[in-house]
Amino acid sequence: MFTPEQMSFVTIASSKTNLERTIDVLHGLKLLHIDDHDPTLGIPLGTPFKQAEKIAELLLDLNFIKSHITLNPATAKDATLSNAERVIKDVKGQLNQLLTELEEVRQKKKAYEKRVQGLDFLHAVGVEDSSVLSSRSIGFIAGTTTNLKAIQQLLKDKECEFFHSWDKKITKVLIVASKSDIDNIRTLLNTHVNAISLDVIETSQAEHDLHQLQERLIGIHQDEEKAKERIIGLGITWNDDLSGSERYLRTSMKKAEAPLRFAVGNHSFLASGWVPTKSMPKLQEALKDVPNLYVQAEHDVHNGPTLMNNPQPVKPFEFFLNLYTLPRIGEIDPTFLVFLSFPIFFGMMLGDIGYGLVLYSVFSVVRWKLPKMKGVCDIILLSSIMTVIFGLVFGEFFGAEEIAGIPLHIWLHRLHEINELITVAVLFGVIHVNLGFVFAFINELRHAGLKKAILAKGSWFVLEIGGVLALAPMLFHTTIAPPEIGIVLSLAAVVGLFLGEGVIGIIEIPGLVSSILSYIRLAAVGLASALLALVVNEMAGGLFASGGVMAGIGVIVLIVGHTINMLLGLLDAFLQSLRLHYVEQFTKFYSGNGKPYNPFGR
């Protein structure tokens, strides 16, 4: 729990004939985090197995299928290569056919729509018989305009026929003139008419033809829908086979490409990677049946991927570490620290029995309905329990100081005892930051030895003690010890820091004060939340006193107000607690940048 899992560096060597079998065994084991071979060292990488090409082809086809059909992987069936090949080719053929049919229907629809548009235009401008437009000595301009009067003015003494629709804002216009005149008129009207292209539609009764076409168009829409449904039906019939094939093909692809990660010579191969030390026996056991295979393991404490191993209550908090950066091998895994203090900070900032209970119930349901969010939900469940506990301490139930008439005993009144609240917050800060220093000390002890640890990290403690002693008369109006001792200790600490960490250590000293003061937010956010709840209650109380309709509005105000306060509180408490860990505590001791453990086979 306190450090990531111990890793061993494993090297596996065998003859090339065993390559495929070894890969199968390793893939099934799901234990080896492969260390990709570097070909610049001399030995080349392996080449993928023969079936890789076919698998890649099938995966491409599958991608094409998936672009038209959504698959549900939950009901995947088991598959084999020949099975998958058959299914995919079959579905691909059917899909292509259905897609062609769909495209035909769509083309037809387009043609019809164009006709409808043309007929609609003619009907709108009042031309029921379009035979005049197809004459060779006639030209026409069709378009829309926003300035009908201007056009009428311009065309007053021109030889042409002018048709227009009766729309108010954007009027459709049709100007018919002899072919010789039409170009002049077009230039004349250039700025006023938005031309649309109108293919000459053969009709002698625009309105009638229009209605007929519109009905036929409805039929074509239905055909299109049916074609689409056939494609969806295809997906439903073959979903299980296709999902199973996909799963099988992807695993096979990984296995077929595995030789690219190993060193493969002419007659033998070398695979290397990391395995958790405690699983070494399992690896040895699985590989013992492969002939001519040699395994060598080295227990390595400094390198290797990170596999966190926390017990069940602590495990959900690994979410925060995954968010930030994973611990390196050999370093302290701060997950359990977050487990201890995150709920406390959250509870202190939200601190209301009612809100805690609501959060607990809501997230219990969310946890049940969305199993994927289990980790985060567990974190919030634990935090909401602490919220209820702090609610009891602060004596707040939805902002009020009583539950259904029974007054709550208040240990610390958030609104009236602000200074005490701030003091508690700063106290938490001191403890939290110093925990950070303790772990920095332990980490430094492991890496660099006792002397460096005392100089670089122990100095912080001395500095704090010295600072408190020196400033006690001024800040707390008490003298614990002569301030001169404090000043001496502080100076000694500064020197120690310089020796241990260089100038950077000195620069970080103001950071210490700022870090500790940053914990005042525990008090401030809590204060804001309590005040908001109080305001909501007073508003609702005022409305209740008026009675009648106002009381109904009062209930709404109460519910909406408290919901907003709860959501704000949830978000803010969550983020600020997290930020306190990441920025104020982790920067004191955490280096992170661990590689995630990614075993072959998962």
**What is the number of other CB atoms lying within 10 angstroms of the CB of residue 351?**
31
With vertex at residue 16, the alpha carbon angle to CA 11 and CA 20, rounded to the nearest 5 degrees, is: 85
Q: Which helix (H) or strand (E) holds 176?
A: strand 171-178
- Distance set, CA 72 to CA 246, 471, 549 (Å): 11, 67, 51
517 near another protein (CB under 8 A):
yes
Query: Which residue lies nearer to another protein by CB, 438 or 578?
Result: 578
State the nearest-atom distance from the C-beta of 455 to another protein, in Å: 30
Binding mask of the shown chain, residues 274 to 313, with x at each position contacting another protein by CB under 8 A = ----------------------------------------
Assess contact for 303 and 569: CB atoms under 8 A: no
State the nearest-atom distance from the C-beta of 572 to another protein, in Å: 8
Query: Which residue lies nearer to another protein by CB, 182 or 528?
Result: 528
Query: Which residue lies nearer to another protein by CB, 191 or 514?
Result: 514
Question: CA-to-CA distance for 157 and 181, rounded, in angstroms?
Answer: 13
**What is the number of other CB atoms lying within 10 angstroms of the CB of residue 125?**
19
Sole binder of another protein in the list 280, 357, 462, 520 (CB under 8 A): 520
Range in contact with another protein (rule: CB under 8 A) among 43-51, 169-177, 337-345, 514-522 = 514-522
Range in contact with another protein (rule: CB under 8 A) among 128-136, 382-390, 417-425, 470-478 = 417-425
With vertex at residue 162, the alpha carbon angle to CA 161 and CA 165, rounded to the nearest 5 degrees, is: 145
Sole binder of another protein in the list 335, 387, 490, 518 (CB under 8 A): 518
Chain residues 558-597 in contact with another protein, contact rule CB under 8 A: 575-576, 578-579, 582-583
528 near another protein (CB under 8 A):
yes
State the nearest-atom distance from the C-beta of 57 to another protein, in Å: 31
Range in contact with another protein (rule: CB under 8 A) among 88-96, 338-346, 520-528, 540-548 = 520-528
Those residues whose C-beta lies under 8 Å from the C-beta of residue 433, and which sit 6 or more positions away, are 512, 515, 516, 584, 585, 588
State the nearest-atom distance from the C-beta of 422 to another protein, in Å: 7
Range in contact with another protein (rule: CB under 8 A) among 261-269, 491-499, 502-510, 513-521 = 513-521
Q: Which residues of 508-529 are buried (b: 16+ CB within 10 A; e: fewer)?
A: bbeebeebbebbebbbbbbbbb
Query: Which residue lies nearer to another protein by CB, 507 or 571?
Result: 571
Those residues whose C-beta lies under 8 Å from the C-beta of residue 240, and which sit 6 or more positions away, are 75, 76, 77
Task: Using the structure block, give the residue that is written with the tokens 């494609």.
Answer: 231
Query: Which residue lies nearer to another protein by CB, 442 or 517?
Result: 517
State the nearest-atom distance from the C-beta of 334 to another protein, in Å: 16
- Distance set, CA 51 to CA 34, 48, 242 (Å): 22, 8, 19
Q: Which two tokens stand for residue 584?
A: 């104020």
Those residues whose C-beta lies under 8 Å from the C-beta of residue 108, and which sit 6 or more positions away, are 220
521 near another protein (CB under 8 A):
yes
Sole binder of another protein in the list 422, 435, 539, 553 (CB under 8 A): 422
State the nearest-atom distance from the C-beta of 378 to another protein, in Å: 17
323 near another protein (CB under 8 A):
yes
Query: Which residue lies nearer to another protein by CB, 295 or 578?
Result: 578
Assess contact for 376 and 316: CB atoms under 8 A: yes
* Contact footprint for another protein (CB under 8 A): 323-324, 418-419, 422, 517-518, 520-521, 524-525, 527-528, 575-576, 578-579, 582-583
